[in-house]
Amino acid sequence: MKPAHLYLLLHVLSTASVLVNAFDPITTTVVVGLGATLGRTIYNYLHESCDSKWIAFNATSLEADLESKLFGQHIASRIILKAVTGFMSNDNPKKPLVLSLHGWTGTGKNFVSQLIAENVYKEGMDSSFVHIFTSELHFPHSSQFDTYKTQLQQWIKGNVSNCGRSMFVFDEMDKMQPGLIDSIKPYLDYYDKLDGVSYRKAIFIFLSNAGGESIIQTALDFWRAGRDREEIELKDLETSLSLSVFNNKKSGLWHTSLIDKNLVDFFVPFLPLEYRHVVQCAMAEMKARGVQPDQDVADQVARDVVYFPKSDRVFSVKGCKTIESKLDYYT
Ligand SMILES: Nc1ncnc2c1ncn2[C@@H]1O[C@H](COP(=O)(O)OP(=O)(O)OP(=O)(O)O)[C@@H](O)[C@H]1O
Ligand SMILES: *[C@@H]1O[C@H](CO)[C@@H](O)[C@H](O)[C@H]1NC(C)=O
Ligand SMILES: *[C@@H]1O[C@H](CO)[C@@H](O)[C@H](O)[C@H]1NC(C)=O
Ligand SMILES: [Mg+2]
């Protein structure tokens, strides 16, 4: 973490050992041994390592975060809590946890991945055990399909060998070339070990907008029928979601064997956000900035956001995205 501290420590230790050299060999061995142990402890204290000091899941705190920070996603919130808690409290999972998050833009998919990371790793998203892949950044050229396949396998193998409790987030799956994700299929399956490496404690999260339309349709049907948003259940969405993802050439999961073989543990739908959620986002953002949340400002921001469908103005077109920059304009 802080190299300067380490150098200082090593210096002190070596000075100490020079001093004790003047004494009998047994004392020297004991002192140097103690010094080495102490050094290792301090290094481990400052430098992130793959152990329970740095990777400590707290279910209570994940629940509290989902409850208080994530707005309008009662289904996603419930699934994520159950899935992650169940997985993390199992010392011997049979396969890695694979979550596929779907929904309209700005509804909280990246945000939830961040909440998960923060409650599993002390360092959160900055942890060296959390890896994010973005199609446009990591796999931009369709001509290099084969290179990407090998590279992706090597990265995952390398990182999991390094730390079994690694987390991989594949962002913008819908922009990924069809078939690329199939290259990691063996890692997601029920294997004890592959080439001496066990992948069973890793977490894989896929993010995409695929299936967003079918989720919106269901949400809109409920709204038009005058039913409460909270009445929407997973079963109202699940089947149409996995089907539309599987059959959508641009979902990143098109005809993938990951779905065939049931290697995705949960398809998590994110509902489109309404006016009241945009207000909540604006209030939360003000709080995060350390200013007194102002209901009037939040209302103003939310009123200025564009909603669809045009006739009813129910759902925010950009979800809670751009609220941050809009706030700058009003305050
Ligand atoms: N449901 C939500 N509850 C609270 N805040 C939210 C929610 N959705 C979005 N936000 C806020 O909006 C920001 C943008 O959301 P996020 O990046 O998670 O969207 P996304 O679903 O990944 O969208 P895209 O599909 O465009 O990538 C987040 O950093 C968060 O501050
Ligand atoms: C888990 O988080 C809660 C709330 O943030 C905190 O009160 C509690 O002490 C934490 N538990 C552990 C074991 O760290
Ligand atoms: C781990 O993954 C990253 C990409 O996130 C890659 O750059 C790195 O080389 C990988 N590490 C190993 C040891 O393979
Ligand atoms: Mg996103």
Please report the pLDDT score of residue 44 as a whole number. Answer: 74
Instruction: Judge whether 179 is annotated as a binding position.
Output: no
Distance CA 125, CA 114 (A): 6
Q: Give which of 86, 94, 10 is closest to 46, Cα–Cα.
A: 10
Q: Which helix (H) or strand (E) holds 328?
A: helix 323-330
Q: Among all chains, which residue has been given the structure tokens 């004790």? A: 20
* CATH number for the domain whose boundaries are 59-270: 3.40.50.300
The DSSP result for 183-249, as a single string, is GGHHHHSS-S-BTTB--TT-EEEEEE-TTHHHHHHHHHHHHHTT--GGG--HHHHHHHHHHHHHT-T
The finding on whether 311 has its CB within 6 A of some atom of ligand 2 is: no
Confidence category of residue 217, pLDDT binned at 50, 70, 90: very high
8 Å CB contact between 170 and 181: yes
How far apart are the CA of 223 and the centre of ligand 4, in A?
Answer: 25
Q: Tell me, what amino acid is at 177?
A: Q
Q: Is 72 annotated as a binding residue?
A: no
Output the six-digit token pair for 23. 């004494």
Q: What is the pLDDT of residue 1?
A: 46
| Domain residue spans of the chain | 3-46, 59-270, 275-330
- In the predicted model, what is the mean pLDDT of residues 95-108? 96
207 CA → ligand 4 middle, Å? 7
pLDDT digits (tens, 9 = 90+) for 142-201: 899 999 999 999 999 999 999 999 999 999 988 888 888 888 988 998 888 888 999 999
CB-ligand 2 contact for 142 (6 Å cutoff): no
> What b/e string do you get for 47-65 counting C-beta neighbours within 10 Å, with b at 16 or more?
ebeeeeebbebeeeebeeb
- Nearest ligand, measured from the Cα of 58: 2
Percent of the chain with pLDDT over 70: 92
Confidence check: pLDDT of 129 > 50: yes
Query: Cα–Cα distance between 306 and 296 in angstroms, integer?
Result: 18
Instruction: Tell how far the Cα of 317 is from the centroid of ligand 3, in angstroms.
Output: 36
Residues 6+ apart with CB under 8 A from 42: 5, 6, 9
